[in-house]
Amino acid sequence: MFSSKTQNSVKTGIDPAQVVDKGEGPNTIVFLHGLFGTPEHWLSVMDRLSDRYRVIAPQLPVDPQPGRRRHGIRKISDLSEIVAEFIESLDLGPFVLCGNSLGGLVSIDLCAQHPDFAKGLVLAGSAGLFERSPIRGLRSRPTKEFVRTTVFGILHDHSLVTDELVDQWYESTLDRDYIRFVLRVSRATRDRTVENELADLKLPTLIIWGRNDEITPPSTGEEFQRRIKGSRLEFVDNCGHAPNWEQPGEFARLMEEFLPECFA
């Protein structure tokens, strides 16, 4: 699944063995997942776009790893700097940033701090304005049923919530050090608001939102559109907080319509 094109990214804190990198061409899309996401959640979208674009999805350093709390991020800007260094190490041509949830917040942070960094921005269930924490009530020893309920709150299509997925997430919660890290990142996400910076974004922006998103409700997507001048908002029906995962065909179709504007 993972590609080794990005061998020179070791120093950035992103493991090149955990980067999906496929497709070719002068124009690139960089996909950033959310707190509990992985590059795998972008694969179906990437497959649909890779015949025209180079598509890259790194595993952000928020996944369960030994010592993650000691070495991990403390504020959103820490993660943004890691992503910026990773992208710069690739020596890309024109590229678009596409982020879901936490990945959307990182994308906004990068575009706000570096106005000429990307050619376009795609936001899906982005943090930065309002977000109901998906881990409300998380304890040091969560039950498997708590994990299942948490995932149900993220995904509208509960058929995607397999026993294997629940078991995988539950296993990660048994690491107390990792849970403390997740809580720290969740607080950092809550504390990083971008409402005063959105008006300064001067790049084509597409906002794709799940109509049934319980984490960042549809009204949040509407608020992003109101604050980002010239942005386009598209709702996806029967879809929760991760439209790229739940409705990849529609997500890719909307991107296909939008991307030529960015790379014109």
Model pLDDT for residues 140-175, shown as the tens digit of each residue: 567 888 889 889 999 999 999 999 999 998 888 888
pLDDT for res 230: 96
CA-based torsion, 170, 247, 157, 183: positive or negative: positive
Domains of the chain with bracketed CATH: 7-263 (3.40.50.1820)
Tell me the average pLDDT across 61-81: 85
Say yes or no to pLDDT of 96 above 90: yes
Say yes or no to pLDDT of 78 above 70: yes
Q: What is the DSSP string of 6-19?
A: TGGGGGGTS-GGGE
Tokens 């998906």, located at residue: 134
Mind listing the pLDDT tens digit for each residue in 227-258? 999 999 999 999 999 999 999 999 999 999 99
Please give the Cα distance from 21 to 54 (Å, whole number): 7
Q: Which of 230, 233, 206, 238 is nearest to 221 (CA)?
A: 233
Please give the Cα distance from 222 to 144 (Å, whole number): 34
Q: Which of 57, 88, 28, 5 is nearest to 259 (CA)?
A: 28
Tell me the average pLDDT across 181-203: 92
Inter-CA distances, 151 with 17, 30, 154, 157, 203, Å: 27, 25, 5, 10, 33
Say yes or no to pLDDT of 138 above 90: no
Residue 219 near residue 132 (C-beta atoms within 8 A)? no
**Tokens, residue 194:** 């971008």
Say yes or no to pLDDT of 212 above 80: yes
More confident residue, 88 or 1: 88
Say yes or no to pLDDT of 134 above 80: no
Please give the Cα distance from 88 to 61 (Å, whole number): 17
Q: Partners of 98 in the beta sheet?
A: 31, 122
Q: Where are the alpha helices (DSSP H) in the chain?
A: 43-49, 68-71, 76-90, 102-113, 144-154, 163-173, 176-191, 218-227, 243-246, 248-263
